[in-house]
Chains A and B, each alone.
Chain A
Amino acid sequence: MPFNPVTFAIPVFVLLIIAELLWARLRRPEAYESRDTATSLAIGLGSTVAGGLTGAAVAALLAWTHSITPLSIGWAWWAWPLCFVLDDLAYYVFHRSAHRVRWFWASHVNHHSSQHYNLSTALRQSWTGFFALSFIFRLPLAFAGFEPGMILVCGGFNLIYQFWIHTESIKRMPHWFEAVMNTPSHHRVHHAVNARYLDRNYAGTFIIWDRMFGTFAAEDDEDRLRYGIVHQLGSFNPLKAVFHEWLAIGRDVWRAPWRHKLSYLWREPGWSHDGSRETSEMIRRRWAERD
């Protein structure tokens, strides 16, 4: 890719993390934990290596898809905002799948594995996205005629946008902004393990997709947010964060009866053939009955 906006944004990410650290020192000491931050940054560094190794393949697949479609939009100025919006829709579909299909969840879970919520958490990006075939969600854009380079640049800016929303230092943005855009408040909900917030707010840049497709939940200041995953990792080992769910899938598929093996790949996280585990719907139902 000739231009990767994320590469240029990294120094800004570092400066913002330092600024947030200083804010936390003064206002919210529990926002950071040094080993957790080290894990986040190590996973982030690993993700850049993984991206470097597989980026060319993703670009080639987009180019191949673009080559077989009769549609071609080109580089017109209006194609950029259209591509950005549709890429964000594709991201919403990918992200929702990454929480509702265990195969994709295994690649995404490390991003949610921290019990803290700060800008360093944003860097807990996947190492196994290519292996999980997560790129398939962008292929329809190439088939629709968008230039592969445009798709990748828009995706890069989408990722950059999502960095700043990983913070507790901003309570709410103006009402009009909260209505349309993904914000720190909306994304705190997404990272929370409170029952009411599980599998909500999948947005990348625009929260409108969650509002349209029924997956939106507003942050309730009376319900203190707890972060992480339902089965907390309990480890600062970045390798465990990245690979633990893949290993768990392997164990479940190995042990499951033949007729249920594939379900441990494509059903939602928490699904079990014998009902011994809880999905997010079951957790939410249990919470609702209790209240």
Chain B
Amino acid sequence: MDAQFLQFAGSLAAIAAVIALTHFLGFSRAGRIADEAEARALFALAPGGFEPVALRLDEERRGAIARDDAGRHAVLVQHGGQFIAKVLEPGAQLTAMDGRLIIRARESDAKQITLRLGETAKNWAAST
């Protein structure tokens, strides 16, 4: 039992050290979408697929919104250094405010998403 406890404690210490090292080496930075082509490739991975006919990157490339030819909207949501494509359910609220597009999905546990889209935020809010 002592050997197992020591092994566990040693593993825990090593894990803490490695996590600290990843942070020290700068791996805690948020991801950015390289360009529109990258955004399209990411939208294509949405469950069920998603092919944008209109697309806009966040001004800091920390997200994106797109619309397909069926009128559906999808967003690229930042998850650490990567992005996740989420197709918005009907009933999602898009609100433009001061150059930002605020997206509230219909699901009760969904987090609010904010994209800096500049002047186009109003157009996107009106497109739903």
| Chain A residues engaging chain B, CB cutoff 8 angstroms | 7, 10-11, 14, 17-18, 21-22, 24-25, 29-30, 32-38, 41-42, 44-45, 48-49, 52, 115-116, 120, 193-194, 224, 226, 228, 230-232, 234, 236, 277-278, 283, 286, 290
Q: A21 contacts B79, CB within 8 Å? A: no
B18 engages A278 (CB within 8 Å): no
The reply to whether B77 and A21 form a contact with Cβ atoms under 8 Å apart is: no
How far does the alpha carbon of A33 sit from the alpha carbon of B7 in the complex, in Å?
A: 26
A-B contact count (CB 8 A): 94
Interface SS of B by simple majority: mixed
In the bound complex, how far is the Cα of B25 from the Cα of A7, in angstroms?
28
* Interface CB pairs A-B, < 8 A, 18: A10-B11, A14-B14, A30-B81, A32-B25, A33-B22, A33-B80, A34-B19, A34-B23, A34-B27, A34-B28, A36-B81, A37-B19, A41-B19, A45-B15, A48-B11, A115-B82, A226-B42, A277-B47
Interface of chain A, main secondary structure: helix
| Cβ-based interface call for B45 (8 A) | yes
Report yes or no: A236 in contact with B41, Cβ–Cβ below 8 A: no
Q: Give residues in B with beta carbon < 8 Å to A.
A: 4, 7-8, 11-12, 14-15, 18-19, 21-23, 25-29, 31, 41-42, 45, 47-49, 51, 77, 79-82, 84
State the Cβ distance, A39 to closest chain B Cβ, in Å: 9
Looking at the assembled complex, report how far the CB atom of A196 sits from the nearest CB atom of chain B, in whole angstroms.
Answer: 12
Residues of A within 8 A of B31 (CB): 30, 33
Q: In the bound complex, how far is the Cα of B84 from the Cα of A120, in angstroms?
A: 21
